[in-house]
Chain A
């Protein structure tokens, strides 16, 4: 099989990730941050080591790295922890449902309002559109760093600078960029970023993090056991434990740490490789007249989406699967993006490259699409 669905979850993982997960499961099943015995303390050290690694990678402090189950989990904790009655939010028209749905739910409960800023190929126009959506009651601007449909990269530093000037919190969905783009939350105008462990960071599924630039107060989404202040009926508002109630995914976190170490060591190499694969794929794909490529492919991560003028994307994804190529058809949990791209009828076939893909695999994918064009037009 040729795996070109790395925007959904990266595959395969580095050997160091597999070893770390196995080592934790085989060697230490103790609960971190609960008991005081040696194995529990060792588990706590594993978690703290991962916190420090993520903190170093993202330019922040370890205690404000909050481990989550995935990006959606992190985004929900951020949005529902920050937003209060009467607040207004601005998002982009390329947001994933992990951003849109919590906001719609909060809006339908009468808690918040939000506006959607149109994204353009021109970053200046995108910034202007965000600026026009901001109101006096805007508490938060939240947007993806790169679309999970087209791969288009948004000008998050410009948007963040705008937010800083206006005293508005700025949050970033790093689902498609963590691992390939660099962040420094002490320097970048970003107040929080939500990342998956299992995509570009090459860790296991079931991992993610909400990473803050400073210990500003948010309301925990969950209450429960934290391993501290146990006799109190109230949730301790201490970072990070007060925001991580319940037992952590220690094997996953151990694996995620190794993924972060791997991507930090190989970031330039990974980015260059993926960019080359995307360029070769696009060059070959443009020779096929049956398919239209979506979005801005110049300023984008290594994700390409295409549509056929007549056929639904799932039919093409199924065809690719028959060639032994894993891609994703449909709507990619991004209703907003598909409405903005006018692809609600067809969805899109998304091809997303990863650090282990080869030129031969990219060319094989185009060859399979060429066969599709030959048979179906």
Chain B
């Protein structure tokens, strides 16, 4: 399944993001972010088809999304 990795500021924010998405029934997983320009980073991975909704939910919940989002399959 094609997924999208939404970058956040830390592992704590990734877990917080996961909690937010869980509340709205969006399945996600916390993983390390690949391709980050500043080094180690974290993201919350969601199904590609739900990524736009997830992005909007995180924004509304005060979870800052950092930099790019990364497409992984």
Q: Which residues of A contact B (CB under 8 A)?
A: 32-36, 41, 44-45, 48, 51-52, 62-63, 226-232, 236, 238-242
Question: By the criterion CB–CB under 8 Å, are B38 and A232 in contact?
Answer: yes
- B54 interface hit (Cβ, 8 Å): no
Q: CB distance A227 to B16 under 8 Å?
A: no
Q: What is the bound-complex CA distance between A242 and B31, given in angstroms?
A: 19
Give the chain A neighbours of B40 by CB distance below 8 A: 34, 227-230
Produce 1/0 per residue, B17-44, CB < 8 A to A.
Answer: 0010000000000111000011111100
Contact B15 A227 (CB under 8 A): no
Of the A-B pairs whose beta carbons lie under 8 Å apart in the complex, a sample of 23, sorted by A's number, is A32-B11, A33-B10, A33-B11, A33-B12, A35-B32, A36-B32, A44-B30, A48-B11, A48-B12, A48-B16, A52-B19, A62-B16, A63-B10, A63-B16, A226-B10, A227-B40, A228-B10, A228-B11, A228-B40, A228-B41, A229-B41, A236-B10, A241-B11
A45 to B19, CA, bound (A): 11
Contact of A230 among B13, B19, B30, B38 (CB under 8 A): B38
Interface residue SS majority, chain B: mixed
Instruction: Tell me whether B31 and A36 are in contact (CB under 8 A).
Output: yes
Closest to A48 in B: B15
Nearest-neighbour CB distance to chain B for A35, whole angstroms, equals 8
C-alpha gap A184/B53 in the complex (Å): 32
Q: Smallest Cβ distance from B12 to chain A, in angstroms?
A: 5
**For B42, what are the chain A residues with a Cβ–Cβ distance below 8 Å?**
227-228
Contact B39 A63 (CB under 8 A): no
Q: Which residue of B lies closest to A237 (CB)?
A: B9
> 8 tightest CB-CB pairs across the interface, nearest first?
A230-B39, A231-B39, A36-B32, A230-B40, A48-B15, A33-B11, A241-B10, A238-B9
| Residues on the B chain within 8 Å of A36, using CB | 31-32
Select the residue from A34, A52, A228, A230 with max chain B CB neighbours within 10 A.
A228
A236/B9 contact (C-beta < 8 A), A36-B32, A231-B39 known: yes
Residue of B16, B19, B31, B37 contacting most chain A CB atoms (<10 Å): B16
User: Beyond A48-B12, A48-B15, A228-B10: 13 further Cβ-contacts under 8 Å?
Assistant: A33-B10, A36-B31, A48-B16, A63-B10, A63-B12, A227-B40, A228-B9, A230-B40, A231-B38, A232-B38, A236-B9, A236-B10, A239-B12
Verify B39–A51 contact, CB threshold 8 A.
no
CB A10 to nearest CB in B, in angstroms, measures 28
Contact partners of B12 in chain A: CB under 8 A: 33, 48, 51, 62-63, 239-241
Contacts of B39 in A (CB 8 A): 228-232
Report how far A34 CA is from B11 CA in the complex, Å. Answer: 9
Chain B proximity of A254: nearest CB distance (Å) = 15
In this complex, the member of A231, A232, A242 whose beta carbon has the largest number of chain B beta carbons within 10 angstroms is A231
